[in-house]
Amino acid sequence: MSSAAQPPEAARARRPTLDAVAARAGVGRGTVSRVINGSPKVSAHSRAAVEQAIAELGYVPNRAARSLVTRRTDSVALVVPESETRLFSEPYFSAIIRGVSSGLSGAGMQLLLVLVRDESERARLATYLTEQRVDGVLMVAVHRDDTLPDLLDELAIPTVLAGRRGHPEPLGHVRADNGGGARAAVRHLLEGDRRTIATITGPLDMDVARARLDGYREALQTAGITVDEELIAVGDFTEEGGRAAMRELLRRRPHLDAVFAASDVTASGAVLELRAAGRRVPDDVAVIGFDDSIVARHTDPPLTSVRQPIEEMGRTMARLLLEEIAQRGKGHREVVLPTELVVRKSA
Amino acid sequence: MSSAAQPPEAARARRPTLDAVAARAGVGRGTVSRVINGSPKVSAHSRAAVEQAIAELGYVPNRAARSLVTRRTDSVALVVPESETRLFSEPYFSAIIRGVSSGLSGAGMQLLLVLVRDESERARLATYLTEQRVDGVLMVAVHRDDTLPDLLDELAIPTVLAGRRGHPEPLGHVRADNGGGARAAVRHLLEGDRRTIATITGPLDMDVARARLDGYREALQTAGITVDEELIAVGDFTEEGGRAAMRELLRRRPHLDAVFAASDVTASGAVLELRAAGRRVPDDVAVIGFDDSIVARHTDPPLTSVRQPIEEMGRTMARLLLEEIAQRGKGHREVVLPTELVVRKSA
DNA sequence: GCTACCCGTGGGACCGCTCCCACGCGGCAT
DNA sequence: ATGCCGCGTGGGAGCGGTCCCACGGGTAGC
């Protein structure tokens, strides 16, 4: 058991192999392999002998060897643009990881986390992913012009995206009902008798941002209100972007009485800017964010926000990917999860 | 190039092997291997031929095969207790990952993310880690009684911890100067003429929490102030814990005029509770947090907080681990990185 | 009593790479 | 010319599994 007594320079103690187990159990390699892989065609007697030998030797199968012959790695990659780990306010990043991890762990799959720093690294990434290191790929924050998903499609590597690039989206993906969330937010503002409702969007090359903007438009139209394009400002999901957009909106339409922001961080920037301009929130201007992140609970006033079931999205992504790996091309390729309006003080 | 034309049921196109490259380049396997691994003992002519063949075939080495013979996997695991992904306020979790990822990527190492849900999973984890799937292990949020590090030590798997379990800590680790940060915070409060300074700690089975508490004590003693044990309340790094601790402190010492909290989230809970008790922050009671997380910037008032260089901690962990993997037992085993007090409005 | 079948089993042939040994060949000293 | 050295090189052996084929022995069917 203890290799601690060995001199530090010694090679790491070599672990027992399948052969060793077979020898100790007095059976052949094939039988040991069958026991390990749960084959039913093993006598109770042999099975017991093998299991005891495994326990005595502390045998653990070598993944590389198995992987070499089965051509599976039992691991999947989660690809995240590095910039997103900064931008995404909590709990997005960790919640996705938690969901993915929990969806995977039951299947004995390992999670390879790949942060992509910049374009030059994308090329290297493509190499990694073809190195037969992973059985499938999960991607978050895919942009409309992202080419990596196409490459994965072409290489026939099972892939599931968080969100879609456009529609139709040929690859499997999971997304929140962004449009529905946006509609609920705007409806809530209308019910609070707000009439001049502005919106600060995310980058419009991302489908989430577009879908939230569309929801905003639809809710207004449903209420019989003509959309005033001057009430729409493009942001980038950051606080600073939110401030800039808010300044611009105030300049264009000083008398607006509500803002629907495409993220909490953006909303918090908007709140700061509104206050700087002497407006009270929510008395003069109501504000609603998106994500229900930790920021929403800690701003002043706490933000009303649209919550996405992020952890469940991660779990669902994992499930879709496992299905796709198990049986190429089967399973439904698109899942939309519901959003929920969390009402706090800002609207 | 295109396997897209094949029927979906077809096995994934088998990738070219080293043999194929050798045949195409008109050389032996050995020579191709040498080129790939950058051996100098290859003639310019052969090297060129091999490189061309690799490019033409789109050859990518198979990791499993290499791994099987070299007994290296070129990947390391980052082990995170799942509860921590919830508790750690941003930016800790993602910043550590970013740092680790950047420290690793240069060395061509891959990052395996392992969330540990509960004790039962720890056992499975131990199995994973001995499966020869990783060359080393990084761990965050190690508790004092955590046995996994000992196991890793015994198995002679290179390991680096974020923070230490106690001291001395036999394993390599990286930590922030928690004591120094705490001292700086308390000194700042003293300079603001606060005299009745309370503290809300983290769970005392974690070294970070202990070190911050020690720093608090030292700063007071240095200033010639006797530590009043009634001004010390134990929290758990959560907001609710912060609120409960603050209530207790107000009960014990109603006239306290400052609080040093061991985390921003705790501090934000304390602020809420202070306000509920009719105290103004910072006028009546000054508050300082720890972490300089996104929460600190968004509370009202924005929190003065102690910043840790988290991303750099991650990078340093990766560096230490790579050193340890390259040459067992060499390299210095302990790195302490400086903290910095970020002054905002709360103190 | 002989053939047919099935079940459990052992072990050979690989998977794709690295390691290392042996070999050929040109250049230099003898 | 002969011997020696060293450089580049080819290819056998193995890493530790899985897959699959062939085989032995029991049971059932005729």
Six-digit token pair at A180? 């529905």
Out of B2, B63, B94, whose CB is closest to A131? Answer: B63
What's the pLDDT at B298? 79
pLDDT: is B231 or A206 the higher one? Answer: B231
Q: What strands, in cross-sheet order, belong to the sheet with B232-234?
A: B232-234, B197-201, B258-261, B286-291, B304-307, B340-342
Q: Which residue of B has its CA nearest to A79?
A: B111
Work out the average pLDDT over A225-233.
97
Among A92-96, B31-35, B65-69, B176-180, where is mean pLDDT lowest?
A92-96
What's the pLDDT at B332? 67
End-to-end Cα spacing for chain B: 63
Name every residue whose Cβ is closer than 8 Å to that of residue B73 and which is 6 or more positions away in sequence. A64, B63, B67, B132, B133, B134, B135
Residue B119: Cβ within 10 Å count: 8
d(CA A47, CA A27): 10
A15 CA to centre of own chain: 37
d(CA A117, CA A97): 18
At B331, the pLDDT band (50, 70, 90 cuts) reads low
What's the pLDDT at B89? 55
Amino acid symbol at B65: A
Among A5-9, A278-282, B218-222, where is mean pLDDT lowest?
A5-9
Pairing of strands B159-162, A110-116: unpaired
Q: Indicate whether B253 pLDDT > 80.
A: yes
Could you tell me the domains of chain A? 18-61 (1.10.260.40), 75-176+311-337 (3.40.50.2300), 178-307 (3.40.50.2300)
What's the pLDDT at B125? 78
Are B155 and A3 in contact (CB < 8 Å)?
yes
Among A46-60, A288-302, B27-41, B142-156, where is mean pLDDT lowest?
B142-156
At A151, the pLDDT band (50, 70, 90 cuts) reads confident
**Helices A29-36 and A44-57 sit at what angle, rounded to 10 degrees?**
90
| Backbone phi and psi for residue A176, each to the nearest 5 degrees, phi listed first | -85, 160
Out of A64, A90, A112, whose CB is closest to B110? Answer: A112
What's the pLDDT at B13? 63
Strands (E), chain A: 75-81, 110-116, 136-139, 159-162, 172-176, 197-201, 232-234, 258-261, 286-291, 304-307, 334-337, 340-342
What's the pLDDT at A346? 95
What's the pLDDT at A93? 82
What's the pLDDT at A82? 76
Among A155-159, B51-55, B270-274, where is mean pLDDT lowest?
A155-159
Q: Which of residues 25-64 of A touch B (CB under 8 A)?
A: 60-64
Six-digit token pair at B330? 């060499």
Are A101 and B112 in contact (CB < 8 Å)?
no
Average per-residue pLDDT for chain B: 88
At B7, the pLDDT band (50, 70, 90 cuts) reads very low
pLDDT: is B341 or B87 the higher one? Answer: B341
Q: Rg of the Cα trace of chain A?
A: 26
d(CA A85, CA A179): 24
What's the pLDDT at B4? 34
pLDDT: is B286 or B121 the higher one? Answer: B286
Out of A89, A90, A112, whose CB is closest to B111? Answer: A112
What's the pLDDT at A254? 96
Q: Chain A contacts of B121, Cβ < 8 Å?
A: 105
Q: Smallest Cα–C1' distance to nucleotide D7: which residue has it?
A: B41
d(CA B259, CA B18): 65
Q: Indicate whether A2 pLDDT > 70.
A: no
Could you give the maximum distance between any two Cα atoms of chain B, in Å? 86
Average per-residue pLDDT for chain A: 88
pLDDT: is B155 or A187 the higher one? Answer: A187
Nearest to B63 by CA among A159, A60, A123, A128: A128
Q: Which of A263, A298, A300 to mutate to test the interface with B (most CBs of B within 10 A)?
A: A298
Tens of pLDDT, residue by residue over B33-49, are: 999 999 888 999 999 99
DSSP-derived 3-state class of residue B249: helix
Residue A102 CA: distances (Å) to CA of A28, A92, B114: 37, 15, 10
**Nucleic strand C within 7 A of Cβ B19:** yes
Q: Indicate whether A175 pLDDT > 60.
A: yes
Q: Which of B291, B298, B327, B328 to mutate to test the interface with A (most CBs of A within 10 A)?
A: B298
Tens of pLDDT, residue by residue over B70-116, are: 999 999 999 988 777 665 556 688 889 999 999 998 888 989 998 88
The footprint of strand D (CB < 7 Å) covers: A 14-15, 17-19, 29-30, 33, 36-37, 59, 61-62, 65-66, 68-70; B 26-31, 33-34, 40-43, 45-47, 65, 68-69
**Nucleic strand C within 7 A of Cβ B17:** yes
Tens of pLDDT, residue by residue over A20-72, are: 999 999 999 999 999 999 988 899 999 999 999 999 998 999 999 999 999 99
Q: Indicate whether B130 pLDDT > 80.
A: no
Are A90 and B294 in contact (CB < 8 Å)?
yes
Q: Indicate whether B288 pLDDT > 60.
A: yes
Six-digit token pair at B144? 């004092």
What's the pLDDT at B11? 43
What's the pLDDT at B9? 33
Q: How many CB pairs under 8 A join A and B?
A: 154
| Backbone phi and psi for residue A278, each to the nearest 5 degrees, phi listed first | 85, 10
What's the pLDDT at B55? 93
Six-digit token pair at A338? 């519901």
Q: Indicate whether A180 pLDDT > 90.
A: yes
d(CA A214, CA A208): 10
d(CA B288, CA B226): 20
Tens of pLDDT, residue by residue over A239-277, are: 899 999 999 999 999 999 999 999 998 999 999 999 999
**Chain D bases closer than 7 A to any CB of the protein:** 7-12, 14-21
At A157, the pLDDT band (50, 70, 90 cuts) reads confident
What's the pLDDT at A7? 34
Q: Smallest Cα–C1' distance to nucleotide D14: which residue has it?
A: B69
Are A85 and B68 in contact (CB < 8 Å)?
no
Q: Smallest Cα–C1' distance to nucleotide D6: which residue has it?
A: B41
Q: Indicate whether B333 pLDDT > 90.
A: no
A133 touches chain B (CB under 8 A): yes
What's the pLDDT at B344? 96
Q: Indicate whether A296 pLDDT > 50.
A: yes
Cα dihedral sign for B155, B160, B165, B171? positive
Task: Give the minimum alpha-carbon distance from B94 to chain A in angstroms, rounded to a whole number.
Answer: 6
**Share of residues in chain A with pLDDT > 90 (%):** 63
Strands (E), A92-219: 110-116, 136-139, 159-162, 172-176, 197-201
DSSP-derived 3-state class of residue A161: strand
Q: Chain B contacts of A268, Cβ < 8 Å?
A: 298
Q: Chain A contacts of B62, Cβ < 8 Å?
A: 68, 131-132
Among A3-17, A265-279, B21-35, B63-77, where is mean pLDDT lowest?
A3-17
